[in-house]
Amino acid sequence: MKIAAVIVAAGRGERAGGGVPKQYRDLAGKRVLARCVHRLHQCGVFMRIIVVVNPLDRDHIDAVEGELGFRLDTIPGGATRTASVRAGLEAASETGAEAVFIHDAARPFVSPALIDRLVDALERHQAVIPALPVSDALLRVGDGGAMGEPVSRDGLQAAQTPQAFHLASLLDAYAQLGGTALPDDAAVVRAAGGEVALVAGEAENFKLTTPEDFIRAERMLMSEAITVTGQGFDVHRLETAEVMWLCGIEIRAGLGLVGHSDADAGLHALTDAILGAAGAGDIGEHFPPSDPQWKGARSDAFLLHAIKRLHEAGGELVHADITLIAERPKIGPHRDAMRTRVASLLGLPEKRVNIAATTTEKLGFTGRGEGLAAQAIITARLTP
């Protein structure tokens, strides 16, 4: 079955506060919407992921795209969730999809197992949603904010998203709805007289609604985070030249590094370290020296690619430490500029980047001034 996903992300998140619509808030190093898209993207089920946004949020959307390393397929939403879903459905119906998952951007913890349960049930049902039994005793609020009637929780469950539908039947239900706004899409199907099957929801798949939900989410992620390191090493031959590129800056000291690209050994070691932490092989594998397109290439591009791979692996850089090993050029005068440049490329504060230099006491190829070596160690946090 061809399935499209629609993520509704056009709300203002007023109950959550925080100054920024909640789907754009940072959660343990990654914005909520980026986490949400990442989860849906990773499971490989969806032919398209359409994100319904408020066009006023363009700067936030750019930041999410930066974290994900790819562009989002966005369309403008409306004043209510119902209106935003309608816009999403219109876009989904142009994709040739037979089924659609509608998901709240405010639920970043949807699991692959839950998506599988929904896909599986969609084989037998027109509409399927995850639901969880409520555990607290329920009540109606009475006069003056005091407790009114108790409400039996027998047979009551709480609905979650993603909610999954055969596209034609959901379009039909929305066509019958007219101008009313309902809380979710299953309610729209029920209003049109359709049946909605239930699969087990997940407590972890809670919706970020209040400031307390953000605290809970942050704690949950941090408790599952692990710290990893990656290391890289690179050598390039030294020659007489006007310009040398090292750690992303230009040094004019009558020396250059020989290589296929700009031969920036510092950035190459750093790139390998980041690829290492991402478990993504090495620089030669991603940018083969035999490939003419990398001739003379600036190493910034290699580094940014490695960062993207780390993000894809759920990683976030924490710290980078580079050691340059050479008799010449003198690194000291350039150290601050290197640190500033590397920090900016990595998106880290300068205090989390270190540039060290050493000689090898005139020993070996570095000691004889034949080449320059660089090694890098990076620390990254992997969150689920």
* Binding positions for ligand CTP, rule: CB under 6 A: 8-16, 23, 52, 77-81, 84, 104-106, 207, 209
CB closer to ligand CTP out of 80 and 354: 80
Tell me whether residue 158 or residue 226 sits nearer to ligand CTP (CB atom): 158
Residue-wise over 70-99: b if at least 16 C-beta within 10 A, else e? Answer: eebebbebbeebbbbbbbbbebbeebebeb
How far apart, in whole angstroms, are the C-alpha atoms of residue 32 and residue 61?
A: 11
Position of tokens 């609905």? 159
The neighbour count for residue 250, using CB atoms within 10 Å, is 13
Smallest separation, CB 173 to ligand CTP (Å): 18
| Dist. CA 108–CA 120, nearest whole Å | 21
State the nearest-atom distance from the C-beta of 29 to ligand CTP, in Å: 20
Using DSSP's 3-state secondary structure scheme, residue 210 falls into coil
Pairing status of strand 26-27 against strand 353-358:
unpaired
8 or 164: CB nearest ligand CTP: 8
Please give the Cα distance from 128 to 199 (Å, whole number). 7
Contacts of 53 (CB under 8 A, 6+ apart): 9, 10, 61, 72, 74, 75, 76, 77
What minimum distance in Å lies between the beta carbon of 68 and ligand CTP? Answer: 17
Report whether 196 contacts 190 (CB < 8 A). Answer: yes
- Closest approach, Cβ 64 to ligand CTP, in A, equals 13
What DSSP string runs through 257-288?
EESSS---HHHHHHHHHHHHHHT---HHHHS-
Report the residue number, 10 or 346, with the smaller CB distance to ligand CTP: 10
Q: How far is the CB of 38 from ligand CTP (least distance, A)?
A: 16
Q: Least distance from C-beta 110 to ligand CTP, angstroms?
A: 12
Decide if 230 contacts 321 (C-beta within 8 A): no
Which is nearer to ligand CTP, 54 or 299 (by Cβ)?
A: 54
CB of 77: closest distance to ligand CTP in angstroms? 5
Q: For ligand CTP, which residue has the nearest CB?
A: 11
Indicate the residue among 78 and 369 with the shorter CB distance to ligand CTP: 78
CB of 46 to ligand CTP, least distance (A): 17
φ/ψ of residue 368, rounded to 5: -80, 0
Identity of the residue, 84 or 271, whose beta carbon is nearer to ligand CTP in the bound complex: 84
Nearest approach, Cβ of 103 to ligand CTP (angstroms)? 8
204 φ, ψ (degrees, to nearest 5): -65, -20
Q: 105-124 b/e with 16+ CB inside 10 Å = b?
A: bbbbbbeeebbebbbebbee
Q: How far is the CB of 67 from ligand CTP (least distance, A)?
A: 17
- Helix ranges (H only) for the chain are 32-42, 58-68, 81-93, 112-122, 167-177, 185-191, 211-224, 265-278, 283-286, 300-312, 335-346, 364-367
